Amino acid sequence: MSVAGPWFLSELAAGCVGWLLLLSPLAILIARRRHGSGLTYGACALASCALALVALLALLSPSPPAAIELAVGLPLGRTILGYDPLGAAFALIINVATALVSGYAIGYGAHAREPQRVVPFYPAFIAGMNLVLLSRDAFSFLVGWEFMSLASWALVASDHASAENRRAALVYLIMATGGALTLLFAFGLLAGPSGGYGFAEMRHAAHLAAAPLVLVLALIGAGSKAGLVPLHAWLPLAHPAAPSHVSALMSGVMTKVAVYGFIRIVFDLAGPPSWWWSLPVLVVAGITTLLGVLYALMEHDLKRLLAYHTVENIGIIFIGLGLALAFEASGLKAAAALSLTAAIFHVFNHSLFKSLLFLGSGAVLHATGERDMERLGGLIHRMPVTALAFLAGCIAISALPPFNGFVSEWLTFQAILLSPQLPQWVPRLIVPAVGATLACAAALAATCFVKAFGMTFLGRSRSTAAAEARETDGWSQVAMLLLALLCLLAGVLPGFVMDALAPVMKLLLGARLPVQSSEPWLRIVPIDSARSAYDGALVLGMIAIAAAATALIVRRFASHALRRAPAWDCGFPDASPATQYTAGSFAQPIRRVFGGVVFRAREHVTMPAPGDTGPARLEVELHDTLWEALYAPVIRLVDAVTARVNLLQFLTIRRYLTLVVSALVLLLIIVGATR
């Protein structure tokens, strides 16, 4: 308490959240003024910077800052706010991304057609997310959670003119409500009969019997928000429907708050785990990882593709969490710390590169009005800065060195390689399969981002909109470049990130990884150096030196002559950009290899008869098998029931009175019979 005294960190953080909440009604007043949206976004960026700084100080301070208690909340309850290391780490992660996204929005938001539908909800959305991380009791956690859900729902519905967006908003609202409800039950079980809703009281309450149920509820509640298969259905609908800077926040940041909710409940509050807890998490995570990336590969809408990749990355994060549960239950503290570090590191990485990619897609959308990759192309010439930043994001998300996505996957692989130490044989069978899934997903993600970058930015423009695109504004460019730089830095200096996460490991597991900053040459050593080590800085340095040496040699000895000429066309000159490979044709081999099983993909070829000059047609049939198997029956059932119940709306007053009386009589009979 004394350490945090002079800093008032909890008070500062709560003040920032309050400021954001205050900003929402203010924004209603100024949203339509000139610079109104820019001012609001700027204020949000500043608040996020301040929150990130506070969170960093809270994370680095030797003892967590004292919490503050407010006399509002449930009857006889109080609201407790403050950062512990877990909350601080996540607050740092989400506010870094949020600050940069808000900076981007200063420029991007100025183009909005109806700013008054977006700007007021934006600060409330950020405030909700931060309140979740700041809360130390279930009540304020759920209030923040609902704030986050409803504000983002309003943002998804902001462009309500299109039926597609309205449907997305409806699906999102249903999923968000269901998720919040399960979390409410989970907290109810954790609080137990004594009803202590503070996290500290829950931690001390013994609830061994209910713990498995809490795990399942947390997996459903947090998983539906994060996008675990099969609860992912709303993500690819809702994330692209929102304005692009909001998409970046929803995909890159809000899913991380959901991951935080899962970690908080399962690792912190639910007590010591049993070994089998890891099984549902690992299985669901493995399926999520693979299906997410396969769905993304079949997608030609840039923003939907990115949303499906969020599903994949959430799977990777939960693989780390599942491994951590398995190790912790078996008392393998170091391995558990490694898995959990890998998972939270991936949370950080994904918040950076997914925000970056959504911002890039927003820049493309604004410049061309297109999200469909089949109508883009050649933008690297028209939008060089966006292309460069987007390329960095693509390399990072494809888990390629020397960028950051690789480091967290490498750490996850190292954790998988430790799992033969597990005493139970079931996880020892499942973990290698999960490892293979992760390896497949990494390679498929690389393929998918070759497609995404290649079809959007390379080649020749497939539409006039793409051919006449203009580079995005300066604010947006700077924000994207900063995010790209952070992706590179986190990949080159991973040791600092791992060290910063050490207090979280101590809090949750009582163990930590070896100190990385004392290692020579900035390398990271998760267990010991004879086993494995990675040095991102050195790898980047070597590649740079090798490339520079090659360039020097080429410059010295090679011919400098360079001639521009038409591309090789086999003697059949055809200027039409339609002859290029498209996103569909690029993904065709993948569809043929994987799609038959997963999507029941069929190709129908219609060839004109010989002599007929009509075009040949190739039609591809894909099924969203999960939607058809799980969601469609429920929707049909609800439709059927409501169609029947709908009759009740058109009765005469006589019949209504009869209904009321008979209901009353029925209830009285029941009461009488049970007495």
Rounded to the nearest whole angstrom, what is the least distance from the CB of residue 375 to other proteins in the complex? Answer: 14
Closer to other proteins by CB, 211 or 431: give it. 431
Closer to other proteins by CB, 1 or 530: give it. 530
Site string for other proteins, 435-474 (x = CB under 8 A): xx--xx-xxx-xx-xx--xxx--xxx--------------
Among 478, 577, 620, 623, binds other proteins (CB under 8 A): 577
Q: Is 72 exposed, middle or buried (0-12, 13-18, 19+ CB in 10 A)?
A: exposed
**Residue 333 within binding range of other proteins, rule CB under 8 A:** no
Q: Which residues are CB-neighbours of 652 under 8 A, at least 6 positions away?
A: none
Closer to other proteins by CB, 255 or 412: give it. 412
Residues in 403-442 at the binding interface with other proteins, rule: CB under 8 A: 406, 410, 413-414, 416-417, 419-423, 425, 428-429, 431-433, 435-436, 439-440, 442
Q: Of 464, 306, 458, 303, give the one whose Cα is nearest residue 371.
A: 303
Sole window of 358-366, 481-489, 537-545, 631-639 interacting with other proteins (rule: CB under 8 A): 537-545
> Is there a contact between 642 and 318 (Cβ–Cβ < 8 Å)?
no
Closer to other proteins by CB, 90 or 406: give it. 406
**Residue 605 within binding range of other proteins, rule CB under 8 A:** no
**Residue 283 within binding range of other proteins, rule CB under 8 A:** no
Residues in 376-395 at the binding interface with other proteins, rule: CB under 8 A: 377-378, 380-381, 384, 391, 395
Rounded to the nearest whole angstrom, what is the least distance from the CB of residue 134 to other proteins in the complex? Answer: 37
The footprint of other proteins on this chain (CB under 8 A) covers a number of residues equal to: 89
Among 21, 110, 489, 539, binds other proteins (CB under 8 A): 539
Distance, in Å, from the CA atom of 532 to the CA atom of 524, rounded to the nearest integer, reads 9
Q: What does residue 385 show for φ and ψ, rounded to 5 degrees?
A: -70, -45
Closer to other proteins by CB, 117 or 460: give it. 460
Sole window of 5-13, 16-24, 239-247, 576-584 interacting with other proteins (rule: CB under 8 A): 576-584
**Residue 254 within binding range of other proteins, rule CB under 8 A:** no
**Residue 641 within binding range of other proteins, rule CB under 8 A:** no
Sole window of 209-217, 248-256, 266-274, 544-552 interacting with other proteins (rule: CB under 8 A): 544-552
Among 212, 230, 280, 401, binds other proteins (CB under 8 A): 401
- Listed as own residue / partner, the contacts of 434-441 with beta carbons closer than 8 Å and 24 or more positions apart are 434/282, 434/285, 434/286, 434/319, 434/322, 437/286, 437/289, 437/290, 438/286, 438/289, 438/316, 438/319, 438/409, 438/412, 438/413, 440/290, 441/289, 441/290, 441/292, 441/293, 441/312, 441/315, 441/316
Distance, in Å, from the CA atom of 345 to the CA atom of 332, rounded to the nearest integer, reads 20
Retrieve residue 281's tokens.
């998490």
Closer to other proteins by CB, 115 or 427: give it. 427
Sole window of 228-236, 311-319, 590-598, 652-660 interacting with other proteins (rule: CB under 8 A): 590-598
Among 71, 161, 163, 567, binds other proteins (CB under 8 A): 567
Distance, in Å, from the CA atom of 361 to the CA atom of 390, rounded to the nearest integer, reads 8
Among 62, 76, 206, 563, binds other proteins (CB under 8 A): 563
Q: Of 204, 220, 212, 326, give the one whose Cα is nearest residue 268.
A: 204
Distance, in Å, from the CA atom of 445 to the CA atom of 451, rounded to the nearest integer, reads 10
**Residue 146 within binding range of other proteins, rule CB under 8 A:** no
Q: Are strands 79-81 and 68-70 parallel, antiparallel or unpaired?
A: antiparallel
Closer to other proteins by CB, 521 or 650: give it. 521
Give per-residue burial for 3-19: e unless 16+ CB within 10 Å, then b: ebeeeebbbbbbebbeb
Residues in 6-65 at the binding interface with other proteins, rule: CB under 8 A: none
Residues in 506-535 at the binding interface with other proteins, rule: CB under 8 A: 521, 523, 529-535
Strand partners, 69: 80
Q: Which residue do the tokens 């920032």 mark?
A: 16
